[in-house]
Amino acid sequence: MKLTFWEAAEAVKAENDWKQWADFELTGLEFDSRLITAGNLFVPLKGANDGHSFISSAIEKGAGAAFWSRVDDVPVELPFLKVSDTLKAMQDLAVYYLKKMTPTVIAVTGSNGKTTTKDMTEAVLSQQFKTYKTQGNYNNDIGLPYTILHMPDETEKLILEMGMDHAHEIDFLSTLAQPEVAAITMIGEAHIENLGSRAGIAQAKMEITAGLDKSGLLLIPAEEPLLLPLINGLPQTIKTFGWHDADCQAEIVTEQKEQSTFKIKGSDTLFTIPVPGKYNIGNALIAISIGQWFGLAEEKIQAGLANFKLTKNRTEWLKNQRSVEILSDVYNANPTAMNLVLDSFSQMATSGKRVAVLGDMLELGPDSAAMHASVSEHLNPKEIAEVLLYGTEMKALYNTLKKNYPENKVHYFTKEEKDSLIDTLQSILKAEDMVVLKGSNGMGLNEVVEQLMKS
């Protein structure tokens, strides 16, 4: 991090006499005292635990300075910057650092596919530029400024994932980051409990334009009518991606378990991505469009997509010692995303049987039961032989599905019965079978995946 102590003090308008300490280079920034290394700026955040309580640990780890908002217990062992709100100070410092380092910012949001799109875009742009992206899911008002303040000095393109579960959150993130390019992957039902409807979700996602450069680029899915009335009057260049009447339009060539190949309208180039599913091709179209915006040759875009690395638990193929193929997609879920995964999984070639393990989709509000039940339209016993449902909300799907499936081929487990779910699944799966696991992160299906890999 190319910042000095005095520079940080001026950026956040520190309230104390910080010039009593000689200026020095800060080596980085951390809000977790356990991650502090020599010369770091410690940011004690107030959450379930008050970070100020860990100042001794930060000092022991070698912190060079700290933000401080308490009126008491002022650290005397190291330089500190008095601020009224340590989180706001970190955010203000991130704004300053963006202006100082001047990377081009690309912002990505959407109900599903944000992380995969971010990963693909980073792989494409890194073919020509020094590129940095949000690590893991650091996509909120803490994670986004943290990402900015951790980008390498030489970063030319900065890809920021923007998440939300309430209105006005992306507005804040976009205004902070001031992107040149913004992309909305899709409008699903995630957080519909807080936003009221898919239309409300669409409006919340469109907040990504709050800080978008007026001469910049906005990418939206062509097949999403809820977004069309929201783009009227926007000054930015607006391009669509998708399967019909889109500016970046895909034609699938082949779909396999571990890769997909497609072309785009107006080009004979074959693009291959090392993940399955039509929905992932849609994510790749965003990365292609962003690569084109920044002038990358088609060959570089092609090479980037062919070799991109997917963040863990996003459409991840695994194989255990019993030769069971496992499609793990357990980080998040909403009906639209779950249906897309099931449609793709249903067509994947296998010499064994297909099995689905589905966990609750959370934060769907009063229509949750109906939304869970509607997934039955994407489950056919001729394609997916056996289904295991897990969680309170999945009871609605169980009651619907057992009418269409043979007896004893649909299983239901409460959230307290995870061990029984694992035992039943282990007894069902045989060599060469294929299983997909999909559910909200809060359901902990990653633990089921871990047990399958130990078998």
Annotated binding site for ATP: 110-116
CA within 13 Å, CB half, 92: 17
Query: Could you give the CA distance from residue 143 to residue 134 in angstroms, rounded to a whole number?
Result: 8
On whether the CB atoms of residues 129 and 294 are closer than 8 A, the answer is yes
Residue 106 DSSP SS3: strand
Query: Could you give the CA distance from residue 400 to residue 376 in angstroms, rounded to a whole number?
Result: 7
Residue 363, token pair as written in the block: 């934060």
Amino acid at 233: G
Number of residues that make up the chain? 455
Binding-site annotation, residues: 110-116
Residue 41, token pair as written in the block: 């700026």
Residue 368, token pair as written in the block: 């949750």
Give buried/exposed letters for 177-208 (b at 16+ CB in 10 A, else e).
bbbbbbbbbbbbbbbbeebeebebbbbbbbbb
**Which residues neighbour 276 within 8 Å (Cβ) at sequence distance 6 or greater?**
255, 256, 257, 258, 259, 260, 315, 317, 327, 344, 348
Residue 138 DSSP SS3: coil
* Strand pairing report for 325-329 and 316-319: antiparallel
Q: Which DSSP letter does residue 242 get?
A: E
The alpha carbon of residue 214 and the mean position of all alpha carbons in its chain are separated, in whole angstroms, by 25
Q: Which DSSP letter does residue 46 get?
A: B
Amino acid at 132: Y
Beta partners for 316? 328
Beta partners for 65? 41
